Structure 1
Amino acid sequence: MAKTIWRQLLLAGLCLSAFGAAADSGGIPTRIVVASAPGGNIDVLARILAEKLSVAQKRSYIVENRPGAGGNIATAQVAHARPDGRTLLVVSTSHTSNVHVYKRVGYDPIKDFTPIAKLAESAFVVAVPSDSDITSLADLEKVAKNRPGLLNYGSSGIGQGNHLGMEMLNARLGIKMTHVPFLSANALVTALVGKQVDVAMLTLPGAFMGVKAGKLRLLAVTSQKRVEQLSNVPTIEEKIGGDFVMTSWQGLVAPAGLPAKDAAELSKQVANVMAQPDVIGALDKIALTPQVSTPAAFGQFLVKETNRWGDVAKQSNIKME
């Protein structure tokens, strides 16, 4: 079902982007770069944004997918593009964590970019197979302490949000579980359902599918408040206290040097787009909630996230070449 929705939104995005290009024949399109392959949540979000901005500004916005190296290739290329407003980048958690995980990334996540706006976010969910003996975070803590290093947890890749989040949970609970990385979020869900790993942080679409199929049990969500569709699942903060809020988020940046007035104007236009009912509805189908901020607020958020994941990566010794 989720794949069908993604395909429909992707096709709609391609058609409307083509319409925008035709209406702006002879003009230079604004590129919204996505550092991942077509079809995922970030790509769908970027295409919706491109469609709406093309109509609002009566000029073309196009989406350009550049996957590779955990997003570092595309991000470095945008960092060195001209700050003329014609090149934008959709960023996510990895934008603030890769600099601490990889030996070289080719960019500074703060200094090399002009923040435009935070776009949307979605909670992670701590999940186990439905027939697991672990039925709560308290159970997870107890079992892990009784079997240090023997429980394993999966992620969608080294340095990804759910990898860092599980390491943060390890530290907060005072436990040690073994990390098993997979190549994608879909591969992670398959592995958890197949009991190749004991526990994992999943994105909401994967969690919804697993629960609907009767294959997964959800222990807690990482958001500040409970998720409406999962009202019986507590937040991590409810169970262990303190500040444990993390989300899978997306935002929009431009190369450093974009004039502040241009960034502010684009941010307002983005906010208008994200507030449209059809956009809210389309994003809800892929479990994203619009969370738009000003350039200044998004800049502060990026600094906070970069510092937080730096601490987690250092404490957990997460490194890649």
Structure 2
Amino acid sequence: MDPHLDLDVAVVGGGPAGLQAALTIGRVHRRAALFDDGRYRNATVAHMHNVASHDGTPPAEFRAAARAELAAYDTVEVRTERVERIRPAEAGGFVLTTGSGEDVGAAAVVLATGMRDVLPAVEGLGALWGDLAAACPFCHGHEAAGRRVGILGAVAAPHQSRILRPVAGSLVVLPHEDDAPDDLPEGVEVVTGRVARAGRDGDEVVLTLEGGRQERVAALFVAPRAVQAAPFAEQLGLELNPSGGIRVDELGRTSLPGVSAGGDLAHLAALPMPMVSVVQAMAGGQLAASSALMGLLAAGR
């Protein structure tokens, strides 16, 4: 290690991608730190789904188990601390400035800070997010099997309705502030008008439209706008995809040598958007960590 570098690899983000990246680095005894500020995209989700051997596991339980496994690796430190800034170091590598003002040097960086969901402007929707309202039919659709399911917004409605049709007892699309889509599957109901409020009544979502009409559904699917949850892509001048996700190559490398990225904050240019799932995040974290280590080896470290 160079004297100005405290770490081989700094992993920023403590979700599935970051945890897997830290494990991968620890397995080959490289010195790493996982920086986890306790903010997660799935913080409001009670149970993870579509994760083999962990289907139905609470995310907090999953993270705790992964942290416990990392404790077996002496070269990996888990720091419950926020990174405020990352910048290239003059002597090579990178400097990470934490919330306490400490500067930490690292030869390579793995970004795994994820995305943040920006929901439509519907009163009360945020309180339902990750529970009765969600984005992913694969993660949340089965729990509403055989019941009336709603889709908010027109853009994703044709795609989501086709995925959900075998699951739901009936489907209703609420275009909200858009025109009703004309390519929905047969039998899908369309309720026009702006949705003003969303609330909970037992295990149902009550949607109140402007004018007072109410619709009830067992689950509401929404396609939120996603933005970077952390400022590091901008700070480092990383190339982005039109989706707002960091552009990476097939090995998880960003446009800046020494920085790789894994999880839903990054994706290949060939994909229209990040793949949002725990399994995809873990795979991306492992790939990003492996690429970081390959970079160290290529540099003779």
What TM-score results when the alignment is normalised by the length of structure 2?
0.31
Structure (1 or 2) with the greater helix fraction: 1
- Bigger relative contact order (CA 8 A; separation at least 6): 1
Structure (1 or 2) with the greater strand fraction: 2
Larger Rg: 2
What TM-score results when the alignment is normalised by the length of structure 1?
0.30
